[in-house]
């Protein structure tokens, strides 16, 4: 009896270990197949309503910027100007501050892997991933040198505040008033509010972003830069009600003629590696997605009240497809058109609720 019991216990343990191995294996596979954008959004706070993503490594590759932490301010500015001309930097919160960051802080778009700027009614935070090999002790020393107060713990907040930034250099965004360093995950986090920044640091890795925002981010692929909005924010920030009254009426007419539309649950606008722009719209169910694929395709190919002219002046529509509850529109920008920055600032007729 004892031998039989031992065999049963061993068998149960083996099954349990196999099950754990399968779960761990699936988790590793899923993480390995996530885009950098998806991985970055796993750090975003759960209250995020708008995420602004810039893959700085990809931007450097795209415009031929051979930069690092020791590059000159002039070389960095040339790179930023080229990135602006290619409509790849409008999503960054750090462009204006970049020269001072490069010279005094030890991190900037010249060396960062990527940047994610999260905004909500509760607060805002900039999350920057630095490459392997970054000396975070040196970053801490740089912060002390410019006047930041070192926290009592490694996961605490470096305090600068509104009195320190003006002494460091001009044009620094208020989002740099407080800084946190996470050497384990190679992250630098900044905010204009110490308490909110500490809250984000304490929740890092929780993957708490609302599911609709995760879904549209996941469908955005290997985006070079992107703006991701919650459904309610997309419906307010990009609404035709933000246009002049006559243009709002024109938008209402165009919607009636195009067909049925439904509110979006999430929206992502992204610059793609090949030069195109992708729009991903989330809906409540598959039926709404199929219906809205047709409607939104008509709207995206027509007039652009609130922005002027026609959308065809800015881009051509390559493909519109519905996959589950998501609608994806792949756009081909006209030469010199700032499609991503235009569409993410609104009002945008085809993103209407």
pLDDT by residue (tens digit) across 85-140?
A: 999 999 999 999 999 999 999 999 999 999 999 999 999 999 999 999 999 999 99
If you write DSSP's letter for every residue of 177-218 in order, what string do you get? SEEEEETTTTEEEEES-HHHHHHHHHTTT---S-HHHHHHHH
CB-facing half-sphere around the CA of 245: CA atoms within 13 A:
0
How many Å is the Cα radius of gyration of the chain? 23
The band of 10, judged by pLDDT with boundaries at 50, 70 and 90, is very low
Q: In whole angstroms, what is the distance from residue 266 CA to residue 216 CA?
A: 6
CA distance 24 to 26: 5
Query: Per residue in 197-231, pLDDT tens?
Result: 999 999 998 999 999 999 999 999 999 999 999 99
Distance CA 193, CA 276 (A): 36
pLDDT at 239: 82
Using CA atoms, how far apart are residues 108 and 78, in angstroms rounded to an integer? Answer: 14
pLDDT of residue 26: 36
Q: What value does the mean pLDDT take over residues 63-69?
A: 88
| pLDDT of 351 strictly over 90 | no
State the pLDDT confidence band at 188, using cuts at 50, 70 and 90. very high
Residue 352 has pLDDT above 90, yes or no: no
pLDDT tens for residues 260-298? 999 999 999 999 999 999 999 999 999 999 999 999 999
Residue 211, pLDDT score? 97
CB 186 within 8 A of CB 208: no
């Amino acid at each position: 009896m004892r031998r039989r019991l031992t065999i049963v216990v061993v068998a149960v343990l083996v099954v349990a270990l196999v099950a754990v191995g399968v779960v761990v294996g699936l988790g590793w596979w899923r993480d390995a197949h996530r885009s950098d954008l998806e991985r970055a959004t796993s750090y975003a706070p759960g209250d995020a309503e708008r995420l602004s993503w810039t893959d700085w490594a990809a931007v450097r590759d795209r415009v031929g910027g051979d930069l690092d932490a020791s590059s000159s301010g002039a070389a960095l500015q040339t790179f930023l100007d080229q990135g602006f001309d290619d409509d790849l930097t409008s999503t960054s919160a750090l462009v204006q501050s970049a020269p001072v960051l490069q010279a005094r802080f030890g991190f900037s778009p010249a060396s960062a892997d990527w940047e994610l700027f999260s905004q909500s009614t509760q607060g805002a935070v900039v999350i920057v991933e630095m490459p392997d090999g970054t000396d975070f002790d040196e970053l801490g020393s740089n912060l002390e040198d410019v006047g930041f107060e070192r926290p009592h713990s490694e996961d605490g907040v470096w305090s600068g505040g509104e009195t320190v930034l003006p002494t460091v250099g001009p044009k620094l965004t208020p989002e740099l008033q407080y800084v946190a360093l996470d050497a384990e995950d190679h992250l630098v986090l900044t905010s204009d509010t110490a308490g909110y920044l500490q809250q984000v640091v304490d929740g890092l890795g929780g993957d708490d972003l609302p599911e609709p925002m995760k879904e549209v981010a996941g469908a955005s692929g290997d985006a070079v830069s992107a703006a991701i909005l919650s459904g309610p924010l997309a419906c307010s920030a990009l609404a035709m009600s933000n246009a002049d009254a006559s243009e709002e009426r024109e938008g209402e007419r165009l919607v009636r003629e195009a067909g049925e539309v439904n509110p979006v649950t999430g929206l992502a606008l992204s610059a793609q590696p090949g030069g195109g722009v992708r729009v991903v719209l989330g809906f409540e169910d598959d039926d709404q997605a199929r219906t809205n694929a047709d409607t939104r395709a008509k709207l995206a190919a027509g007039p652009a009240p609130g922005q002027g002219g026609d959308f065809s002046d800015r881009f051509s529509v390559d493909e519109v497809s519905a996959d589950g509850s998501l609608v994806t529109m792949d756009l081909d920008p006209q030469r010199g058109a700032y499609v991503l920055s235009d569409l993410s600032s609104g009002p945008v007729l085809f993103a209407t609720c």
